[in-house]
Amino acid sequence: MLEVRNLVKHFGGVRAVDGLDFKIKQGEVFGLIGPNGSGKSTTVNLVCGIFPPTDGEIMLGNINLGAIAPHQRVDAGVARTFQNIRLFGDLTVWQNLWVAWRDQPGQEQGWVSNWFGRSTSRRQEIQKLLEFSGLGDKADHLASNLAFGEQRRLELARAMAAKPKIILLDEPAAGMNSAEVKDLCHRVLAMKEMGMTVLLVEHVMELVMNVTDRITVLNFGRPIAQGTPLEIQNNKLVQEAYFGSSENAQGGGN
Amino acid sequence: MTYLLGIFQTIGVHTLLGLSAYLLLLTGQLSLAQVGFFAIGAYVSGILTVIFTWNIFPALAIGAFTAGFFAFLVGFPALRVKGLMLVVATISFSEIVRLFFFNLSWRVNVNGLEVGPDSTQGFREIRYFAANGWEQIHIVGLIWFMVIVVMLALWWLDQVRAGAVLRAVGTDELAAQSSGINLTMVKVAAMTGGGVIAGIGGGLFAHSTTYVDHHTFVILLATFAVSYPIIGGLRSVMGTLLAVIFIQGVIVEGLRFMGDYRNLIFGLLIILVMNLRPQGLLDGHLLEDLKKLLGRLTKGEKADA
């Protein structure tokens, strides 16, 4: 599905991502973890095209994402959420989904769709997505008036509304309490059951270890380990990267 | 009566100018190019009725189309920059247009009279209305007909997906792009639409005053254009209309005895609005309250009937 080959991104002298390879399979929940500043969010931003990579290739199936504009990547099949919630606060919950909505993958709606009154079949589908997100009764609320957890769920729903092939979740559990994290676990697993492919960038280990199939651990922009959640938990290098080893606190990345 | 109609005329034209800025402000772009489009609409439609002796309606349409076309062309390079840089770029455009017309001399003999734009002397004798027996009430009627058409069109945008898309871009460009919206296309479309609206306003203005020159199209007018929707609020097209009525009707006309001191009030007003009602006079809460009130009133009427 999503394949990243030798991805490199330098900001001036900072090597945010420095030779990253991974391959995400169809229907898989793939975790990307690592200490702060290890290049996780940069990777997501590179896949979405917020800035161009210094080097390397990003392929979605046989589409070269590097060759198309950021907004076209959504129709190619990439949707995302943001580390800091970015909703359209002045729009209603329903309109937030409506803006991103695709009836079929890759088909943006016309600008004048929904001439007076909302097309009933689309209305029902959007309502279904709202119910899935636990926002069924909030359709006409302003997005900015939602509670924090609801805003997180709305952002996730907006990403799903574009009918993507893969969803990139950039620290979706940031700022959540443990009950909300549990709820998010169920939600991600439900998405997986629906056949969605997910790239999860996350610090909250409770979420990562419960939902992912495979994990890549980054440190200083380079992958230091790859494997199942269990393998990663028992990996010495990973423990060092996170906590530092007793002999050399900086040892993990070098 | 003539005085009152004159005020209606001014308010109508300024509303069109304000609405043209409103459309672009929905996408979060502050443009001072609206006065340039206004000037293009004024000169092009004026030239068509005066030199080519066209009917007013096709002349207005071509004036609006030309203004929209230039807005489209300017949109691509100008909208690559944001904020202050966009303001500078659009001021430059308006000044280029103004200075072009300042230098434009195109004198033609029509029915024994020399007419047309005369560079520094301005463009006189845009007398289509007088020559065809229109009275002032008809002219004001035409202006307000166009105002209502444009307001309905902009209201309609909020009933379909376009309104949500424009506002999404205005709220958060990064999130909009990540939802698959082509930012350039949306902004250029808004710029083009704004150009057409300003062009209509310019054409109506030129014909209702019968005389325009480069002094008319200074940047001050562009600052008025963006002030109306900012003061009125972007939640509804009615906000812009209210702001124009308030500024042109109350402050400029009502306080005429104060002379140039009115300008101080205008500045003060903007500062007050920005502080007290950052979302504009007609903000979301007030709009909700008005809707509820309207709902109650119509329900009451039904109960009576």
Nearest CA in chain A to B284: A90
Nearest to A71 among B159, B170, B181 (CB): B181
| Residues in chain A within 8 Å Cβ distance of B181 | 71, 99
Instruction: Between B264 and A16, name the one with better pLDDT.
Output: A16
pLDDT band at B16 (very low <50, low <70, confident <90, very high): very high
- Per-residue model confidence (pLDDT) at position B267: 79
Query: Are B185 and B44 contacting, i.e. CB atoms less than 8 angstroms apart?
Result: no
How many Cβ pairs within 8 Å bridge chains A and B? 82
Nearest CA in chain A to B179: A100
Strand (E) or helix (H) holding A229: helix A229-233
Query: Are B22 and B43 contacting, i.e. CB atoms less than 8 angstroms apart?
Result: no
Of chain B residues 177-216, which have a CB less than 8 A from chain A? 177-183
Mean of the pLDDT values across residues A151-180?
A: 93
Q: How far are the Cα atoms of A151, B26, B42, B120, B203 from residue B91, in angstroms, in the given order?
A: 39, 19, 18, 21, 21
Give A195-254 pLDDT, tens digit per residue: 999 999 998 888 999 999 999 999 888 999 999 998 988 888 888 877 776 555 444 444
Instruction: Please state the length of chain A.
Output: 254
- Per-residue model confidence (pLDDT) at position B155: 94
In angstroms, rounded to a whole number, what is the distance separating the alpha carbons of residues A202 and B23?
40
Residue A65 pLDDT > 90, yes or no? yes
Nearest CA in chain B to A48: B178
R_g over Cα of chain B = 20
- Per-residue model confidence (pLDDT) at position A249: 47
C-beta atoms of A86 and B161 within 8 A:
no
From the CB of residue A147, how many other CB atoms can be counted at a distance below 10 Å?
A: 9
In angstroms, rounded to a whole number, what is the distance separating the alpha carbons of residues A200 and B271?
46
| Residues in chain B within 8 Å Cβ distance of A113 | 160-161
In angstroms, rounded to a whole number, what is the distance separating the alpha carbons of residues B219 and B162?
30
The interface predicted TM-score (ipTM) is 0.89
- Per-residue model confidence (pLDDT) at position A5: 92
In angstroms, rounded to a whole number, what is the distance separating the alpha carbons of residues A169 and A100?
16
Candidates B23, B26, B166, B179, partner chain A, best to mutate (most A CBs within 10 A): B179
In angstroms, rounded to a whole number, what is the distance separating the alpha carbons of residues A242 and A212?
19
Q: What is the DSSP string of B24-85?
A: HHHTT---S-HHHHHHHHHHHHHHHHHTS---HHHHHHHHHHHHHHHHHHHHHHHTTS-HHH
Mean of the pLDDT values across residues B237-244?
A: 94
Q: Give Cα A125 to chain centroid, integer Å.
A: 22
Give A106-121 pLDDT, tens digit per residue: 778 887 776 655 567 8
Structural domains present in chain A: 2-77+164-253 (3.40.50.300)
- Per-residue model confidence (pLDDT) at position A251: 45
Across the strands, what pairs with A30?
Answer: A199, A214
Using a CB–CB cut-off of 8 Å, the residues of A that contact B are: 48, 50, 69-72, 74-75, 79-80, 82, 86-91, 95-96, 98-100, 102, 108-116, 142, 158, 161-162
B88-125 burial, b if ≥16 CB within 10 A, otherwise e? ebbbebbbebbeebbeeeeeeeeeeeebbbbeeeebbb
Our CA-based measurement puts residue B170 at a distance from the nearest CA of chain A, in whole angstroms, of: 9
Output the pTM of the full model: 0.90
Candidates A47, A48, A88, A144, partner chain B, best to mutate (most B CBs within 10 A): A88
Give B52-111 pLDDT, tens digit per residue: 999 999 999 999 999 999 999 999 888 888 888 999 999 999 999 999 999 999 999 988
Across the strands, what pairs with B236?
Answer: none
- Per-residue model confidence (pLDDT) at position B62: 98
The percent of residues in chain B predicted with pLDDT above 90, rounded, is: 69
- Per-residue model confidence (pLDDT) at position B294: 85
Mean of the pLDDT values across residues B201-206?
A: 97
Q: What is the dihedral of CA B149, B150, B154, B157, to 10 degrees?
A: 60
Give B110-157 pLDDT, tens digit per residue: 888 899 999 889 999 999 999 999 999 999 999 999 999 999 999 999
C-beta atoms of B180 and A111 within 8 A:
no
